[in-house]
Amino acid sequence: MDEYSITSMNRKISEITSKDWLEFYKKTHNDKKFFAEKAWETIKLHILLSSSLISITIGTLALMHTSEVFLGFGTNEKSMLIAPLFILPFTMASILYIGSRNFDRECRRMYEQASIMMKLEEKFGFSVEEREEERKQFLEDKTYVPERYSEKIWNSSSEFIKDVMSAKDTLHGNMRRIFDIFFWVSVLLMILIWVVILAHQAGFF
């Protein structure tokens, strides 16, 4: 980059006003809110889909074994009718895998915007500027931002995102378990279907 380009860039940076920084902060905040909402939508969607697939799988198994028509079939015919039910929990596990990856992506984007906001708050002085001495609320809080942000220092946004994504008391840390729970439920359903087929083959039904 030549000297003219550097001078031009410095001039443009110097022309950025406080209003521009504030607008940038608002945009970053809105982007963070957008990704947070998308993450919640992903969670709710997969809870609904998983619950539906669980209900359909168990309901179909129960309906089969209370149907005189089904019970009147031979052993092989029963097994052949039950086997396609594997599709439901397998589909559920596949959807959860894709959904969990999408949830991770949305959370990373959300925390990425949070890191930008933290940089801007530091620029504005919110993370270091002490509050008024006469305080009525939160008397022990010396600054306007949570102490955990000023106490811990991250060298980069990537390090911050990695740290928050692995923490247990965050949106990602808490809600990521939902995908794991439903995934293992889908595995148990596949095992259940296999056990039912074996039970038919062994003559227990």
End-to-end CA distance of the chain: 80
Residue 98 counted as domain residue: yes
Q: Is residue 172 part of a domain?
A: yes
> What local confidence, expressed as pLDDT, does residue 203 receive?
73
4 located within any domain: no
Q: Say whether pTM exceeds 0.75.
A: yes
Asked whether residue 60 is assigned to any structural domain, the reply reads yes
pLDDT at 150: 67
- Is 47 a member of any domain? yes
Block mean pLDDT (10 aa), the chain, length 205: 48 65 91 95 95 94 87 85 92 95 96 91 72 68 69 85 89 92 95 90 74
State how many domains the chain has.
1
Q: What pLDDT score was predicted for residue 49?
A: 95
Q: What is the pLDDT of residue 33?
A: 95
∠ CA 96-101-104, nearest 5°, is 120
Instruction: Look at residue 4 in the predicted model and tell me its pLDDT.
Output: 43
> Buried b vs exposed e over 60-73: b needs ≥16 C-beta within 10 Å?
bbeebeeeeeeeee
For residue 1, is it within any domain?
no
Domain containing 123 equals 18-201
CA 2 – CA 12 distance, rounded (Å): 16
Confidence at residue 52, expressed as pLDDT on a 0 to 100 scale: 95
Residue 74 lies inside a defined structural domain of this protein: yes
Q: What is the pLDDT of residue 14?
A: 54
- Identify whether 2 is part of a domain: no
